[in-house]
């Protein structure tokens, strides 16, 4: 069997310039790695580490040709029109806390920043993103979802808040859905909020009237629910050591189990078309065919270099927020035996407590 070949290059902005892979100022050390990974085998050793990494990468969102990632205390914007050679376009100044989640709508980025609450950035000029508004939530902002004129913030022990963001410079709290545990992530569709609520499992809340959210149901996943994605009448819930739960939510007030897979530790999930992409932290990303959610089929796994936290998918590439490993852009097209991976890194800060 052919051995895996690792190639990497290093770019130190401000002192050394290697080719033109990335051009940016004051980002410190950036390393890019290329690897070929077989379908069945995980490389026995990770890409060689080149320089430290600046903070954990928890969040990624790709819109068009640009990727928005939270790296430690900063929002960084990349041009990924060619995912094999990402180009840094701009970055924010330091934020109050790590970027835990983010969403992009039109020319604004909405960031859940832990103890920093909700922050809104104008990204109309990606070279100079700047904050235009914010709301200091009482808990620990872990997830954000934007629908219409409202942002929904999963705020840890403080529950899920509904904030009017029609005027980004003047954010107004409209309502709160309290929790008994810890709200990690929220997904909103058709006037219903689906909340990954730790030991409480999945919470289902009617938010048709955002000033008076009404809890419709809870569903125990027998584990710490940290991620949720809803598509075509099914809720996909990641529940830590209890694995992946697929729930039929045709009737939101009565979720019904469609299927479960408890064989893997799961953290977050993204559904695109007929595929679900599940981040499993140190075991990377697992891809499942969910064309029939009641009979999902495992397809393959991609090993992450560090710790797969969040996934976004655009066209033929899967973008993975990989903790201290930075951002991975993984081709999911082509042959079944080889895939290409690129890795983005910046400087390291001291690790932080998730809560």
Residues 331, 37: Cα–Cα separation, whole Å? 11
Q: For residue 210, what are its two tokens?
A: 């955002």
Q: 174-226 pLDDT, tens per residue?
A: 999 999 999 999 999 999 999 999 999 999 999 999 999 999 999 999 999 99
Residue of 118, 130, 131, 212 whose CA lies nearest to 165? 118
Residues 110, 122: Cα–Cα separation, whole Å? 9
Q: For residue 177, what are its two tokens?
A: 């859905």
Contact (CB, 8 A) for 57 and 323: yes
HSE-up (13 A, CA, CB side) for residue 67: 31
Residue listed under structure tokens 């990335």: 22
Q: 42-64 pLDDT, tens per residue?
A: 333 332 222 233 688 999 999 99
Contact (CB, 8 A) for 143 and 151: no
| pLDDT score recorded for residue 302 | 85
DSSP, res 225: B
All structural domains of the chain: 6-344 (2.130.10.10)
| pLDDT score recorded for residue 84 | 83
Residue 119: exposure state from Cβ atoms within 10 A (0-12, 13-18, ≥19): buried
Residues 310, 308: Cα–Cα separation, whole Å? 6
Least confident of 54-68, 159-173, 226-240: 54-68
For residue 140, give the 3-state DSSP assignment. coil
Q: 91-146 pLDDT, tens per residue?
A: 999 999 999 999 999 999 999 999 999 999 999 999 999 999 999 999 999 999 99
Strand partners, 186: 195
Contact (CB, 8 A) for 278 and 288: yes
Output the CA–CA distances (angstroms, integers) from residue 266 to 65, 84, 159, 272, in the order listed.
Answer: 28, 27, 22, 17
Which residues are CB-contacts of 172 (< 8 A; sequence separation ≥ 6)? 163, 164
């Amino acid at each position: 069997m052919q051995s895996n070949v690792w190639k990497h290059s290093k770019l130190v902005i401000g002192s050394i310039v290697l080719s033109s892979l990335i051009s940016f100022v004051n980002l410190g050390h950036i390393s890019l790695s290329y690897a070929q990974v077989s379908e069945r085998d995980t490389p026995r050793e990770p890409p060689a580490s080149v320089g430290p990494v600046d903070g954990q990468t928890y969040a990624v969102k790709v819109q068009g040709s640009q990727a928005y990632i939270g790296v430690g205390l900063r929002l960084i914007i990349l041009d990924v029109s060619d995912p094999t050679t990402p180009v840094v376009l701009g970055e924010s100044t330091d934020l109050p806390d790590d970027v835990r989640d983010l969403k992009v709508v039109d020319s604004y980025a909405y960031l859940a920043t832990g103890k920093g609450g909700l922050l809104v950035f104008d990204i109309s000029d990606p070279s100079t993103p700047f904050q235009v508004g914010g709301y200091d939530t009482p808990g620990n902002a872990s997830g954000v979802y934007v629908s219409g004129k409202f942002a929904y913030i999963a705020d840890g022990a403080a529950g899920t808040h509904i904030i009017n963001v029609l005027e980004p410079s003047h954010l107004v709290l409209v309502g709160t859905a309290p929790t008994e545990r810890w709200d990690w992530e929220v997904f909103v569709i058709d006037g219903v909020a689906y909340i990954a609520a730790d030991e409480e499992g999945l919470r289902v809340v009617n938010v048709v009237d955002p000033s008076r959210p009404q809890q419709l149901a809870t569903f125990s996943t027998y584990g710490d629910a940290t991620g949720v994605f809803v598509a075509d009448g099914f809720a996909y819930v990641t529940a830590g050591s209890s694995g992946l739960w697929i729930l039929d939510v045709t009737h939101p007030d009565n979720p019904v189990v469609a299927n479960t897979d408890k064989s893997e530790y799961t953290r977050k999930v993204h559904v695109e078309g007929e595929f679900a992409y599940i981040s499993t932290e140190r075991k990377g990303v697992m891809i499942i065919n969910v064309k029939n959610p009641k009979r999902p089929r495992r397809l393959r796994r991609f090993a992450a270099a560090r710790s797969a936290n969040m996934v976004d998918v655009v066209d033929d590439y899967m973008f993975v927020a990989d903790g201290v490993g930075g951002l991975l852009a993984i081709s999911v097209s082509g042959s079944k035996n080889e895939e290409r991976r690129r890795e983005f890194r910046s400087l390291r800060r001291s690790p932080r407590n998730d809560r």
